[in-house]
């Protein structure tokens, strides 16, 4: 087909082709993967040389000079012949490093490069996500502070309940996100390096290389771990690091997905009420058939992708459960999909949520109108208390209010009219002693309790301290492609 590229002739994951950031897409790219393999082979050679194995400066220098120039065509051809991806790249690396060829991958098993690279990608993936999550928290914190005092209807069972404030509701979202921040930080810090462990994790091949010197084998593991940027390696592994590590990593991402789904569902519900809307571009079309529509498509995207993120955690759970003895290879194909997709999906929903939280639009007059419709019913207890203070009988007053409330509810529900409870109260001579107090009794600010104070304290004690490590990365804006 004229004018169409090769990339349009086969399936492309929308996670990369449509949504993900360049940095996260690169983190799980073939180039990142295979250049990391070469660096790991370099680290191994350097450490082995430092521990007196017969490796020369020339061999190390040759490897260093060819870390990036990978012949992917040759590697693919080698893999077709050998049916082994690691050995294909050993051969490809050896081809451009003929002097170093004899010592590349010396003593190692495939999982030395495979598993250690996965751990590096997981670590780097968390390092991409954490500042993005911090920015979402920062934007929402600013929103919560701005609207800390704006009364709004609270909802339980999606039915009108006592008032809260727009800012206090945002703090419910923030609290979950702060928990996610701590979870992601913990998962990132808990990651260790597989290190240099050999075929079944016993380090037997390295013990042979060092002629039974256990101290040198331990020092080799320590040196390579340090070169790779990790503080610790796992002391025991099979052929692979425990697949429970993948569970830990993907569980915190799935939990983040649940948080984002809840936040964006709330935004969608509030958009239906016309109280809050996500950003909407001047030329954006909400519906091809209904020109007036302002669909919450960013929030819908977040919910859609968050469901995928939550579902992915079942993969590492099942994989870890069936890793027979020292390992079985049925983890490999699954992990090629589930690990990158979890981080790519988390990356996308955080970028989208940042865009949403940077441009949330609040409509105070709509919120005020909704309060007016419901507040008379909520104020009945205040009216009763005022009447009692004025000398009335509580039971008599309760019965009066009950009858008038049911009449007003019938107007709202059966006739589609406005809530006229206050007009009925004003028209009833029984309530004459408190008519001058009615406006004060119905001031929405008297129904929000300590919501503003809770917002102030929560932001100060729980939110702002979490953001301090990311202050230098707060100014990044998201240009969202829809």
Residues assigned a catalytic role: 157, 287
Dihedral sign from CA coordinates of 410, 411, 416, 420? negative
Q: Are 43 and 224 in contact (CB under 8 A)?
A: yes
> For the purposes of burial, counting CB atoms within 10 Å of the CB of 49, is it exposed (0-12), middle (13-18) or buried (19 or more)?
middle
Distance CA 48, CA 54 (A): 8
Q: Are 227 and 221 in contact (CB under 8 A)?
A: no
Please state whether beta strands 361-362 and 151-156 pair in parallel, antiparallel, or not at all (unpaired).
unpaired
Q: Are 317 and 247 in contact (CB under 8 A)?
A: yes
The residue behind tokens 């013990």 is 207
Radius of gyration of the chain (CA): 31
Please state whether beta strands 361-362 and 276-277 pair in parallel, antiparallel, or not at all (unpaired).
antiparallel
Q: Are 99 and 55 in contact (CB under 8 A)?
A: no
Point out which residues pair with 161 in neighbouring strands: 154
Instruction: Tell me the two tokens of residue 284.
Output: 């954006």
**Which contacts of 291-296 are long-range, i.e. CB under 8 A and separated by 24 or more positions?**
296/264, 296/267, 296/268, 296/271
Cα separation values, 258 from 262, 301, 463, 476, Å: 6, 14, 20, 25
455 Cβ contact partners less than 8 Å away, ≥ 6 residues apart: 144, 145, 148, 165, 167, 168, 171
Distance CA 74, CA 89 (A): 9
Please state whether beta strands 151-156 and 159-165 pair in parallel, antiparallel, or not at all (unpaired).
antiparallel
3-state DSSP helix/strand/coil % of the chain, to nearest 5 = 70, 5, 30
Cα separation values, 361 from 15, 275, 356, Å: 28, 8, 9
């Amino acid at each position: 087909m004229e004018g169409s590229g090769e990339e349009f002739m086969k399936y492309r994951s929308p996670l990369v082709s449509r949504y993900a950031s360049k940095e996260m897409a690169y983190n799980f790219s073939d180039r990142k993967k295979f250049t990391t393999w070469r660096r790991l082979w370099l680290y191994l050679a350097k450490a082995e040389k430092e521990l007196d194995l017969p490796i020369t400066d020339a061999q190390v220098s040759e490897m260093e000079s060819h870390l990036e120039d990978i012949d992917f065509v040759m590697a693919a051809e080698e893999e077709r012949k050998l049916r082994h991806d690691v050995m294909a790249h050993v051969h490809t690396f050896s081809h451009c490093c003929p002097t170093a060829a004899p010592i590349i991958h010396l003593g190692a098993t495939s999982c030395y490069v495979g598993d250690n690279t996965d751990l590096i990608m997981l670590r780097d993936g968390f390092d991409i996500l954490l500042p993005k999550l911090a920015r979402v928290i920062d934007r929402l914190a600013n929103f919560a502070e701005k609207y800390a005092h704006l009364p709004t209807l609270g909802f339980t069972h999606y039915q009108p309940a006592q008032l809260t404030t727009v800012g206090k509701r945002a703090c419910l979202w923030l609290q979950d996100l702060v928990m996610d921040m701590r979870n992601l930080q913990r998962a990132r810090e808990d990651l260790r390096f597989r290190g240099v462990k050999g075929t079944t994790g016993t380090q037997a091949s390295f013990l042979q290389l060092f002629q039974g010197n256990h101290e040198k084998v331990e020092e080799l593991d320590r040196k390579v771990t340090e070169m790779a940027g990790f503080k610790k390696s796992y002391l025991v592994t099979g052929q692979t690091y425990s697949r429970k590590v993948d569970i830990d990593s993907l569980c915190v991402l799935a939990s983040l997905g649940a948080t984002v789904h809840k936040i964006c569902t709330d935004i969608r519900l509030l958009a239906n009420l016309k109280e809050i809307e996500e950003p909407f571009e001047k030329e954006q079309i909400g519906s091809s058939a209904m020109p007036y529509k302002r669909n919450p498509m960013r929030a819908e995207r977040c919910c859609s992708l968050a469901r995928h993120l939550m579902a992915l955690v079942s993969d590492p759970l099942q994989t870890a459960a069936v890793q027979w003895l020292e390992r079985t290879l049925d983890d490999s194909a699954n992990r090629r999909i589930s690990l990158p997709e979890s981080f790519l999906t988390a990356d996308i929903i955080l970028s989208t949520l940042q865009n949403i939280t940077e441009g949330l639009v609040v409509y105070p007059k709509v919120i005020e109108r909704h309060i007016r419709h419901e507040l008379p019913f909520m104020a009945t207890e205040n009216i009763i208390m005022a009447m009692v203070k004025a000398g009335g009988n509580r039971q008599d007053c309760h019965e009066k209010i009950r009858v008038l409330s049911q009449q007003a509810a019938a107007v709202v529900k059966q006739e589609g009219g406005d809530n006229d409870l206050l007009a009925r109260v004003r028209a009833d001579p029984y309530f004459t002693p408190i008519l001058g107090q009615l406006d004060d009794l119905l001031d929405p600010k008297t129904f929000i309790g300590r919501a503003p104070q809770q917002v102030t304290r929560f932001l100060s004690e729980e939110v702002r301290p979490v953001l301090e490590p990311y202050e230098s990365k707060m100014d990044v804006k998201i240009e969202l492609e829809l």
